[in-house]
Amino acid sequence: AGTGAALTGCESSSKAAAPAPAVVQFRGAHQAGIATPAQDRLAFAAFDVTTTRRADLIDLLQRWTAAAEKMTRGEPVGSVEGIEESVPADTGEATGLAAANLTITIGFGPGLFDDRFGLAGRRPEALRELPAFKGDELVPPISGGDLCIQACADDPQVAFHAVRNLNRMGFGVTAMRWFQLGFGRTSSTTTSQQTPRNLLGFKDGTKNVNGDDARDLNEHVWVGSDTDQAWMSGGSYLVSRKIRMGIESWDRDRIGDQEAVFGRTKVEGAPLTGKREHDVPDLAAKAADGTPVIPAHAHIRLASPDSNGGVKILRRGYSFTDGVDPLTGQLDAGLFFICFQSDPATGFVPVQRNLGTDALNEYIKHMSSGVFACPPGAAAGEYWGQRLFS
């Protein structure tokens, strides 16, 4: 893939300016793919580590870091052709494609901190298996994992290529446990982005933590220096939930009921107490008959920081479809929910508990779940998670 030439500032004014090279910086204080603008496509994989040799795991993290850095620049991980007798280092399907704002984010699951790699004493208190929630119908083979890779890009083939190549580099060290493709981001992480829609047709991501709001990020998303495990300072915790939607029953529901389920209008995305999308919902407003205008079990009431002791999470999910469920003949589609927070116990967990009585539950099913510690960004010369192993 081409890397895109940087502008020099010396181009003749008669020439059209070259487009910005769609590259997101790989190294930095925080990993890219969390607070950076959400791209349109997702490829997400969880892996089991199949070796018990710590040195092999470190070696893979070093090779993964170098490969990820190259791919985010729009370069292949190695040669695609050239030596007739050798197996290509890169699989080739991103050849000729731009970097497409590719970000690759790594996370470590709770299982990595068992007795295999000498990491038991380095597990942060915040990294624990999530509790069971009301209505969970989790499928173990598509849940959990020792490691996760979240690849996001504006081109689905670029995101797929990134995960595929990291997976093949891991042969003998890791085995892919589950894999999910996503399309149509269901969140905005900057004020400049238009709010997208989820598969139920509603604007999703209106009241999200913004990637340019340093105060919210420091308070709710980044792990601070006061953490019990210094290697996680500047990192964040990722929670993933594959949530299937009962699209066929939703599509038979009246629009008034659909809007009551969320507490927002469908087309504008305004709270039922306002007119415009970004009007602040008035959770106290009552109708003439004394009932709340935003119903007691509306999604935005139960998910709101006002109903959860001020909890905010950064949502970064995607729509998915995996075809047709052969048992029911219904669409297997929904939301691959991803959120980031400084501690799941004070982020996702209380919000999801509060959503136990959500009117939306009639139309959704949680099928898979994961929790991962995403270390801080790799500094120059560092590999992913180096501070955990040193």
Ligand X SMILES: C=CC1=C(C)c2cc3[nH]c(cc4nc(cc5[nH]c(cc1n2)c(C)c5CCC(=O)O)C(CCC(=O)O)=C4C)c(C)c3C=C
Residue 128's Cβ-side half-sphere holds a number of Cα atoms within 13 Å equal to 8
Cβ within 8 Å of residue 158, ≥6 positions away: 1, 41, 71, 94, 97, 98, 99, 100, 102
Which of residues 159 and 303 has its CB atom nearest to ligand X in the complex? 303
The nearest distance, CB 155 to ligand X, in angstroms, is 25
Pick the closer one to ligand X by CB: 174 or 319: 319
Looking at beta carbons only, is 70 or 220 nearer to ligand X? 220
Do 80 and 92 meet the contact criterion of CB atoms below 8 Å apart? yes
> Closest approach of Cβ 375 to ligand X, in Å?
23
Binding site for ligand X (CB under 6 A): 198, 200, 202-207, 241, 243, 245, 262, 264, 299-300, 303-305, 313, 334-335, 337, 348, 351-352, 355, 364
Q: How far is the CB of 359 from ligand X (least distance, A)?
A: 11
Residue 62 vs 354, nearer CB to ligand X: 354
- What's the closest the beta carbon of residue 352 comes to ligand X, in angstroms? 4
The distance of closest approach from Cβ of residue 150 to ligand X in the complex, given in angstroms and rounded to an integer, is 17
Q: How far is the CB of 87 from ligand X (least distance, A)?
A: 41
Min separation Cβ 247 and ligand X, Å: 11
Smallest distance, Å, CB 255 to ligand X?
14
Nearer to ligand X, 120 or 267 (CB): 267
The nearest distance, CB 304 to ligand X, in angstroms, is 4
For the bound state, the minimum distance from the C-beta of residue 306 to ligand X, rounded and expressed in Å, comes to: 8
- Which CB atom, from 49 or from 300, has the smaller least distance to ligand X? 300
Closest CB to ligand X among 302 and 378? 302
Q: Which is nearer to ligand X, 68 or 239 (CB)?
A: 239
Nearer to ligand X, 190 or 233 (CB): 190
Give the residue with the Cβ less far from ligand X, 70 or 312: 312
- Which H, E and C letters describe the chain, residue by residue? CCCCCCCCCCCCCCCCCCCCCCCCCCCCCCCCCCCCCCCCEEEEEEEEECCCCHHHHHHHHHHHHHHHHHHHCCCCCCCCCCCCCCCCCCCCCCCCCCCCCCEEEEEECHHHHCCCCCCHHHCCCCCCCCCCCCCCCCCHHHCCCCEEEEEEECCHHHHHHHHHHHHHHCCCCEEEEEEEEEEEECCCCCCCCCCCECCCCCECCCCCCCCCCHHHHHHHHCCCCCCCCHHHCCCEEEEEEEEEECHHHHCCCCHHHHHHHHCECCCCCCECCCCCCCCCCCCCCECCCCCECCCCCCHHHHHCHHHCCCCCCEECCEEEEEEECCCCCCEEEEEEEEEEECCHHHCHHHHHHHHHHCHHHHHEEEEEEEEEEECCCCCCCCCCCHHHHC
List all residues 6 or more positions away from 62 whose beta carbon is below 8 Å from its beta carbon.
383
CA dist 338 and 150 (Å) reads 10
Contact 367, 142 (CB under 8 A): yes
